[in-house]
Structure 1
Amino acid sequence: MGCVARVWLLGLLLFLANGAWAERLRLVADLWPPFSDQALLNGGLATDLVRTALARAGYTTEYAQVPWARALHGVEIGSYDVLINAWFSEERTRIGQFSSPYLTNRIRLLKRKNTLIDFNSLADLRPFEIAVVRNYAYDPGFDNDTQLRKVPVASFGSAARMLHAGRVSLTLEDEYVARYYLSRETPQVREDLEFLPKALSENGLHILVSHVHPGHRKIVEGFNRALQEMKADGSYAAMLKTHGF
């Protein structure tokens, strides 16, 4: 073998060893801090976890942030390969294959620390005014209960400040989202509020891999395996800590 050929072969081997020929997956998500937000560290907690697990499974990735409806439709038609933050539903199994859950979204109620409110069922909440974000889906039972005294607001930040001011008795939000936004409130607001112990609902957060991609089963299997390895070696917990959780 000539010198030029040996150099070319060595370059090719290094190219492969460095994963340059690894399959590239097109990831997509909507703006949902702290899970997915290009302004946050590594694109947010969910983006970072998913990209790291897929990298360990042997894939390279590119990421797009678009409105939710566009993201879901893009996965359905194959414009994107992986939706990184999806709750399970039977309807969505027509679009793609779900991974194992990699995070748990817990919708929790918040109150002022100096108030006594017990929550065991929706009936316990009916005496109280509850700030809710307009057009936000929390839980089917809660959303459809017409006896609850819901006060529509523009955002969780507005709800938290109303709660602190005593204009409502409760509000609610995903625990990760609430902690993210409370960390950006004034100490007076942040330190005045606390979560009720019982969660209103819990949903696993999954990736959804497009059925259009011929390797969707392999992608999900690799992601699930890498996720378990990350939990076993401590890198999963370290990543949560890096993102402030």
Structure 2
Amino acid sequence: MTADPLVRIGTGDWAPYVDQQRSDGGALSRLIRGIFEAAGYQVELVYYPWDRNLLMLEQGNLDAVMPYICNKNRQRFSQCSDAVAHGEVVLFQRADQQLNWQRFEDLEKFRIATTLGYSYGSKFDAALDAGRLQVQQSGKEDTGFRLLSLGRVDFHPQDRAVGYAMLQRLFSAEERALIKHNPRILHAEPLHVLFRKDDARAQRLLEVFNAGLRRLVANGELASLQRALNAGNADQWQFTLESSVQ
């Protein structure tokens, strides 16, 4: 047993990856808890807004946060795990609009709803920071879709699997029929667990997690999870604790 067995991990409601309404916390919560429990740790998941999670990690109030894109700004105060899943960020739009974009610069003419604390890829983040995009930012997960359904914005970027899970859970069939995703992918990048930087315990937690994750790669469990996410069957994906130990 480890000397300090409790691992506090900050996350947010982001079904199908993380689902606060499920007793097991969703697919990535099952994955992370299983790996750490097999190594003698206990996991406490705490749910905060995405930007607050990062601030608490930077201030040393959390051991890790998940799931996040591993960008340069976050690497200032965190260490990134191996990839736990691969997501595709797409632009959701109203089904009755024909909006086309070919180059990233084309997005500058559109109204876009974003969520605070999200990263949408380095090019989008840089354009946002430089003020080149017309954005409405909100801390609530569903605001972007609600603005979209009301016609107040043209696009809402979101992970494709997350977007459709959110629409299914929070919107009526009539509302869902009004929204689709643009076929052009905005950004594709793996998702990670971010651990505290320059901290001996966090370094050990990172090593424990990566070791367990690599065993799941070797036995095919991680590929099985990705297939379940892509097919919309993440809630059915399960693995035993024995899957994450040698």
TM-score (norm 1): 0.69
1:84 and 2:66 equivalent? yes
1:208 aligns with 2:221: no
CA radius of gyration, larger in:
1
1:244–1:194 distance in 2 versus 1, CA, 3 Å:
farther
Does the CA contact (< 8 Å) of 2:113 and 2:155 recur in 1? no
| Number of residue pairs matched by the alignment | 223
CA distance in 1 between counterparts of 2:136 and 2:76 reads 36
Residues 1:101 and 2:83 aligned together: yes
Match of 2:125 in 1: 140
Deviates more, 1:221-230 or 1:158-167: 158-167
Report the counterpart of residue 92 of structure 2 in structure 1. 110
Tell me if the contact between 1:126 and 1:148 (Cα under 8 Å) persists in the aligned partners. Answer: yes
Change (3 A) 1:100 1:164: same
Write the distance in 2 (CA, Å) between the matches of 1:81 and 1:154: 23
- Preserved CA contact (<8 Å) 2:7 2:43: yes
Q: CA deviation at 1:165?
A: 4.7
Structure 2 unmatched ranges of 5 or more: 238-246
For the pair 1:190 / 2:176, whether they are aligned, the reply is yes
- 1:7 is matched with none
SS at match of 1:160: helix
Aligned equivalent of 1:50:
32
The answer as to whether partners of 1:209 and 1:216 remain within 8 angstroms in 2 is yes
**1:160 equivalenced with 2:142 (yes/no):** no
**Residue of structure 1 aligned with 2:206, choices 220, 225, 235:** 220
- Aligned residue number for residue 242 of structure 1: 234
Please state if 1:63 is matched with 2:44: yes
Partners of 1:152 and 1:222 lie apart in 2 by 36
Residue 71 to residue 116, structure 1, CA distance change in 2 (3 Å) = closer
The amino acid that maps onto 1:242 is A
TM-score when normalising by structure 2 = 0.69
Distance 1:171 1:218, change over 3 A: closer
Q: How many angstroms apart in 2 are the aligned matches of 1:134 and 1:77?
A: 22
Q: 1:133 to 1:69 in 2, by over 3 A?
A: closer
Residues 199 and 41 (structure 1), Cα distance of their counterparts in 2 relative to 1, 3 Å cut:
farther
Q: Which residue of 2 aligns with 1:13?
A: none
How far does residue 226 in structure 1 lie from its aligned partner after superposition?
2.3
CA contact (8 A) 1:109 1:199 kept: yes
> CA separation in 2, counterparts of 1:44 and 1:95?
27
**Can you give the 5+ residue segments of structure 1 that lack an aligned partner in the other structure?**
1-20
Compared CA separation, residues 85 and 152, structure 1 to 2 (3 A): closer
Shift of 1:118: 2.4
Which residue is equivalent to 1:40? 22
CA 92–234 in structure 1, closer or farther in 2 if over 3 Å, else same: same
User: In percent, how many aligned pairs have the same letter?
Assistant: 21
For residue 40 of structure 1, give the secondary structure of its aligned residue in structure 2.
coil
